[in-house]
Amino acid sequence: MVSKKTTPHFGHENPHTHSQSVEAAVVNAYKGTAGTILADKGHEVVSVRPVDSIRHVVRVMYDHKIGSVVVKDQNGHLVGMLTERDLVMGFATHPDEDPDNTRADQLMTKEVVTATSETPILEILHKMSEGRFRHMPVVDGEHIAGMISIGDVVKFRLRELEYEALKLKQMIVG
Ligand code: AMP
């Protein structure tokens, strides 16, 4: 039996408390950062060189079961990004090109939007949505500290939702 004391005030009888609790929930949501996700998934970043062939890039993505690679120059600096989308666009618009004679830097995106470990997850989602892409490298100065995909963000948010639902249940049941 739910006691009156622990019953939260949803609905019209106490709009002030209700709006305050919604506000608190919004503030609490997405409190994680890129670093929170990387602490869980790890810091591995699969990369290729600008001169690598597209056949090599496809093989690397297939072997690692991933949808994107970063492109690094000989000094380890991030110079681009290649995802499944670039491969689809490349093959669709140039179906006769030889994948052995097409280089990574011919299909890669050069202006890469990055995050740092401190970037809030909500900001990453906004940038992905605005830029219409699903991957974001996390950088620490010149060093590439990890890769976050939209799948990682969804997984994180699902966990948060499950946790929030559990907390609500505990509030209601007491
Ligand atoms: P995606 O949705 O991640 O497969 O990428 C869609 C397009 O955006 C492709 O042309 C990618 O090269 C590009 N792209 C992916 N991630 C980024 C990023 N973080 N910054 C800039 N462009 C990106």
Dist. CA 86 → ligand 1 center (Å): 8
User: Quick one: which H or E segment has residue 70?
Assistant: strand 68-72
The pLDDT value given to residue 79: 98
pLDDT of residue 21: 55
- Which phi and psi angles does 40 have, rounded to 5°? -90, -45
Structural tokens at position 58: 């496809």
The SS3 call for residue 24 is helix
Q: In angstroms, how far is the first alpha carbon of the chain from the final one?
A: 10
Residue 115, classed as helix, strand or coil, is strand
pLDDT digits (tens, 9 = 90+) for 17-50: 545 554 555 445 567 999 999 999 999 999 999 9
pLDDT confidence of residue 29 = 54
- Output the average pLDDT for the chain: 87
Mean pLDDT for the stretch of residues 120-125: 94
d(CA 74, CA 112): 18
Atom of ligand 1 nearest to the CA of 111: 21
| Residue 115 near ligand 1, beta carbon < 6 Å | no
Ligand 1 center to 173 CA (angstroms) = 45
* Residue 55 pLDDT greater than 50, yes or no: yes
